[in-house]
Structure 1
């Protein structure tokens, strides 16, 4: 049972260095956490809002007792608002940063000397609330923060239920399928490993602009899993482990991270390039071509995939044309003259393209 909010002195409230909002930028202390929020969480708009209208008290912070300091609390929900209030109240906390803070009216300064806080017994007690609000509610986190939150819940050492049962609960709380969550969680573990092994730093990956979805989408593809040493069989709860990529495949992991996230990433068009990269990674010739050129188009063609893709499109074209022909009489009955004219023009253009292809194929190909 969550208790009603109470007012707590600002000086007794502390930032949470384990806050998933930080992604993998794990702060070592509160000062570092504050610096991360200032740099990454865009609290400038909060400074202006609080200075102009005061602190909106309808939504309290969520905190747990600080076990090391009686009477003090660690805020696990609302760190961005807490950071804004702390810096407005004490501009010296900005350190050497040359940031001009708005001037506070004395009324507002007194108002933020205490903040409304709901104190809970532990982190787990607040997880259902946090999960709704930030994972599928109105104030969403990015996918990397969601992944960290979900993995923390799955690995909760105080929860002695079977992993499959915990995962089922997570699918209900987070609103995603089991398969989707498994890919996200394993991808998170892989990303942690890439940081630990220095891959992220060596490739100069920008954590703040990371397209984390690239990684967990790749894990849906068995050849992509095999490329980094994961089993080609379906992922399971037991796949969510520390350092899932074998040491023998770290070079492949480095290649994959470069192709997905590096300064010369081959992913330019998300809808088409990720599937093409998956196909290339299923081909030894394609992988070698991509390694030597970092050119996805060249690797795709070298592996013969451009030819296969083109041939597949011709089969789809024929199937679509067959369906259009089968439905023509029924659909045409309900179309007016202008719609029929537009459709005729569209089909005429399509015929021109197909005639051009047949011509390029030479005599006897029709």
Structure 2
């Protein structure tokens, strides 16, 4: 990474928040974003905790300077912070509070409770980098697999950018300290998201950004690849648009099931349902049910797919294992009324369950006798 050889210092007003910072959300990332817009968007990042640490420790952390590139904002050249936007946003918000323009009562209280450390806003440490490309390797390791990890969509966007620049999956994997198959999955999931953004009319970008992990995990399943006709081994060029054009209707439905819309909730509530969702997509009958209903139910689709059977078996086996554990300890608590009530409830449920399966009922009664 090409940088200046020493840490420099600048007034907080000389440093600019990065309008291309992926953490503000892909739908809001634009080169012409104003500094006020960016600062307002970054209020979601729990800035007060950082501000309090500055106040309690007597200033900014000089051992971890901001990383800056010089680029034009409008017609003038500016110091844009590529790494450290949360820290800079905390400083700028705190300065406003000390200047009498607090954004909230919380910030006003901080300014009233603490004395402003000397030169906190006048001497902010930073290091200048030649270009954004020069810091990409550092940011990739630090945020994708390092100590300050990005969210799933931010990680995928970064990986996609590297691949689109001409790097192979192997090269990206080495660059960020990951594995080629994982890099490929992130790339395909991100390109599917871009395709949804461009080709699905009722897609809501805000929903997509918060549920990318569901898309990432879903799209790698056999059921999803079959339904969307995604060839995971296709060329990078082909995977820029992973779903074939003749299956755009399926992509639109898939988007609604994964993300929901402004008018409807997603079919898949969270990542814990991914394996069941995959089973549903792998079942022609279940898919027909989903496609034919305006408001399909996940549980009904599960039953149609046959996945409900495996889930029920899992419930029974888990109950059996817990009962075996209870048997090892129950003799020590025979005087417990609460335990006796619990045993009675279990017994009633087991009897009802056995009655549904006559052979098991007869076998169990025979063993008891």
Return the TM-score normalized by structure 2: 0.73
Cα distance in 1 for residues equivalent to 2:267 and 2:214:
11
Check 1:94–1:13 CA distance in 2 against 1; reply closer, same or farther (3 A cut).
farther
Partner of 2:335: none
Partner of 1:26: 29
Check 1:344–1:175 CA distance in 2 against 1; reply closer, same or farther (3 A cut).
farther
- Structure 2 residue 191 is matched with structure 1 residue 193: no
RMSD in angstroms over aligned alpha carbons?
A: 4.1
Cα distance in 2 for residues equivalent to 1:83 and 1:36:
10
Cα distance in 2 for residues equivalent to 1:107 and 1:358:
72
Partner of 2:258: 260
Partner of 1:47: 51
Cα distance in 1 for residues equivalent to 2:188 and 2:129:
30
Cα distance in 2 for residues equivalent to 1:36 and 1:354:
55
Please say if residues 62 and 75 of structure 1, whose CA atoms lie closer than 8 Å, have aligned partners that are also in contact: yes
Check 1:35–1:344 CA distance in 2 against 1; reply closer, same or farther (3 A cut).
closer
Partner of 1:328: none
Check 1:106–1:44 CA distance in 2 against 1; reply closer, same or farther (3 A cut).
closer
Partner of 1:221: 221
Cα distance in 2 for residues equivalent to 1:112 and 1:219:
47
Please say if residues 230 and 243 of structure 2, whose CA atoms lie closer than 8 Å, have aligned partners that are also in contact: yes
- Structure 2 residue 257 is matched with structure 1 residue 234: no
How far off its partner does 1:363 sit?
5.4
Partner of 2:107: 101
Partner of 2:62: 57
Corresponding residue SS for 2:107: coil
Check 1:256–1:282 CA distance in 2 against 1; reply closer, same or farther (3 A cut).
same
Structure 2 counterparts to residues 305-320 of structure 1, below 5 A = 305-307=307-309, 309=310
Partner of 2:85: 79
Check 1:276–1:99 CA distance in 2 against 1; reply closer, same or farther (3 A cut).
same
Q: Deviations over 1:167-223 (max 9, x none)?
A: 213213333321222111221122223233465xx3556449713221111222233
Cα distance in 2 for residues equivalent to 1:21 and 1:302:
40
How far off its partner does 1:229 sit?
4.1
Structure 2 counterparts to residues 106-185 of structure 1, below 5 A = 107-108=116-117, 110-156=119-165, 163-164=167-168, 167-185=169-187
Please say if residues 182 and 235 of structure 1, whose CA atoms lie closer than 8 Å, have aligned partners that are also in contact: no
Corresponding residue SS for 1:101: helix
Structure 2 counterparts to residues 199-348 of structure 1, below 5 A = 199=201, 202=202, 204=204, 206-207=206-207, 210-231=210-231, 233-234=232-233, 237-241=236-240, 243-262=241-260, 264-268=265-269, 270-271=271-272, 273-291=273-291, 292=293, 293-307=295-309, 309=310, 342=328
Q: How many residues align?
A: 330
Unaligned runs of 5+ in 2: 332-347, 364-369
Please say if residues 182 and 236 of structure 1, whose CA atoms lie closer than 8 Å, have aligned partners that are also in contact: no
Return the TM-score normalized by structure 1: 0.73
Check 1:96–1:47 CA distance in 2 against 1; reply closer, same or farther (3 A cut).
closer
How far off its partner does 1:77 sit?
0.2
Q: Deviations over 1:286-344 (max 9, x none)?
A: 0122341421121121234434x379879xx8xxx9xxxxxxxxxxxxxxxxx9x7399
